[in-house]
Chain A
Amino acid sequence: MPLARLIPCLDVSHGRVVKGVSFVGLRDVGDPVELAKFYSDGGADELVFLDISATPDDAVTMTAVVAQVADVLEIPFTVGGGVRSVADATRIIESGADRVSLNSAALADPALITAIADRYGSQAVVVAIDAGDGVVHTHGGRVATATPTIPWAVEAAERGAGEILLTSIRCDGQRMGFDLDLTRAVRDAVSIPVIASGGAGSAAHVAAALRVADAALVASIVHENPAGLPGLRREIESLGIKLRPLKERR
């Protein structure tokens, strides 16, 4: 089995990183390219960029960001937000992203999962599920749908998703730990890998999530102190989770 992965998530709006990155060591904390490189150097296993503005105008901006990130990053990255068609996926993957993440667009048109997987392979398609009270939510978790979480995860996998990015709405932003029961239930129901998301407040929380999931998404815990990423990794490893060994910087 591959090693557990630690994945910082960057929210991007109009081409700039938003939400709580506070760090004096960076020249420009709003620059997705600089922050991506910083996290990559700090030992991130992968990155996720979420375009939270995602209006048609922003698609052009985001594509440019993806290309710039691809030119400096030597770790994989996923782009979500605003992927609503195969053409959107093509634009993002051919600009250098490894994977696209689909959320409400996949719910509205599940065939989109298959169409992108057929072209780029399952490993290129992540289906993001915002889950709460047993059902899938849309609009950043604000609107409950009638779709139950676990059957949707199973359907997404059957249609060709290569990974589930599972966010617990209840835990997200609380920093009190991940929803381990939800994560376990979804992971048990599918045979594709699952990224746990929502609730990371400490190394112990992340380690607990990595015992039930294949990867953990982290946001504020790293954004409030980007230089603390190597230390966070060491702490997670000291709790018995095996992460990839980092080479000496050349």
Chain B
Amino acid sequence: MSDVIVVDYGAGNTRSVCAALTHLGHTSAVSGDPRDIANAELLILPGVGSARSAMEHLTLTGAAAALRARFDEQRPMLGICLGMQLAMQSSEEDGGVEGLGLLEGHVRRLTTGRVPRLGWAMVDPWDDAYYFAHSYACESSDAIATSDSITAAVQHGSFLGVQFHPEKSGDAGLSFLDQCLSRA
């Protein structure tokens, strides 16, 4: 059985996440099945696509309920980009979307710099550059890292979320994923 489940919610780039996991010596599978979400050693909620269609898909398939149950049981979960934003209470995207509400905080449209914010940027206090591609960002008291004063990572209970794409962040990203996997 695969040790990592990458949650499928109908859009997005799950292939690159799986490729990075393979590179690190882990087996992974893409699934939206609530049972797989419940049983996985580590769960990754990847990100690309729109918040509304992602939440609708997760709710309809029962995946949203499985994600909340998994969080309540304190089992490890990693959210990437939109996957991190979905864990918040709400998002401004698509005219307003209710999130999974695992973490306290809200997702707002970026108002400074070029939007979308694209490219490699330093993350404080991790002192490494990671690849970002986003137009929205989290405002949360659970922030543990920032990049240009924008939330780069959040953590609460068993949920760790990152705004950047570790699967697209070269060696820095692979090291980050490796650490997540060894802690899971």
Question: Chain A interface (Cβ within 8 Å of chain B)?
Answer: 1-5, 40, 45-46, 67, 70-76, 93-98, 118-124, 162-163, 191-193, 214-215, 244-250
- Whether A76 contacts B168 in the complex (CB less than 8 A), given A93-B13, A123-B134, comes out as yes
> Which of A67, A72, A162 is close to B116, meaning CB atoms less than 8 Å apart?
A162
In the complex, whether B183 has a CB less than 8 A from a CB of chain A is: no
Residues of B103-137 whose CB lies within 8 A of A: 113-122, 128-129, 131-135
Please report the number of residue pairs spanning A and B whose Cβ atoms sit closer than 8 angstroms: 122
* Contact between B171 and A249, CB atoms less than 8 A apart: yes
- Complex alpha-carbon distance, A76 and B131, angstroms: 8
Find chain B residues with CB under 8 A from A1 CB.
Answer: 113-114, 121, 148
**A247 contact set on B, CB distance < 8 A:** 128, 170-172, 175
User: Could you tell me the distance in whole angstroms from the C-beta of A3 to the nearest C-beta in chain B?
Assistant: 5
Chain B residues within CB distance 8 Å of chain A: 11-13, 15-16, 19-20, 22-23, 48-50, 82, 113-122, 128-129, 131-135, 148, 165, 167-175
Contact among B13, B117, B133 for A94, CB-based, below 8 A = B13
Residues of B contacting A: mostly: mixed
B116 adjacent to A123 (CB under 8 Å): yes
Chain A interface, >50% SS class: loop
Given contacts A76-B168, A124-B48, contact A5 B119 (CB under 8 A): yes
For B128, the chain A residues whose CB sits under 8 A away are 245, 247
Q: How far does the alpha carbon of A248 sit from the alpha carbon of B171 in the complex, in Å?
A: 8
Residues of B within 8 A of A191 (CB): 114-115
> In this complex, what residue of B is CB-closest to A125?
B116
Given A76-B165, A93-B13, A123-B133, is A45 in contact with B116 using a C-beta cutoff of 8 Å?
A: no
Q: Is the CB of B133 within 8 A of A76?
A: yes
A70-B16, A96-B15, A191-B114 known; A2 vs B171 contact (CB < 8 Å): no
Task: Decide: A74 near B20, CB < 8 A? Known: A3-B121, A96-B15, A215-B119.
Answer: yes
Contacts of A248 in B (CB 8 A): 171
The contact sample of 11 A-B pairs, CB cut-off 8 A, is: A1-B114, A3-B119, A71-B15, A71-B22, A73-B16, A74-B20, A96-B16, A98-B133, A162-B116, A191-B115, A192-B114
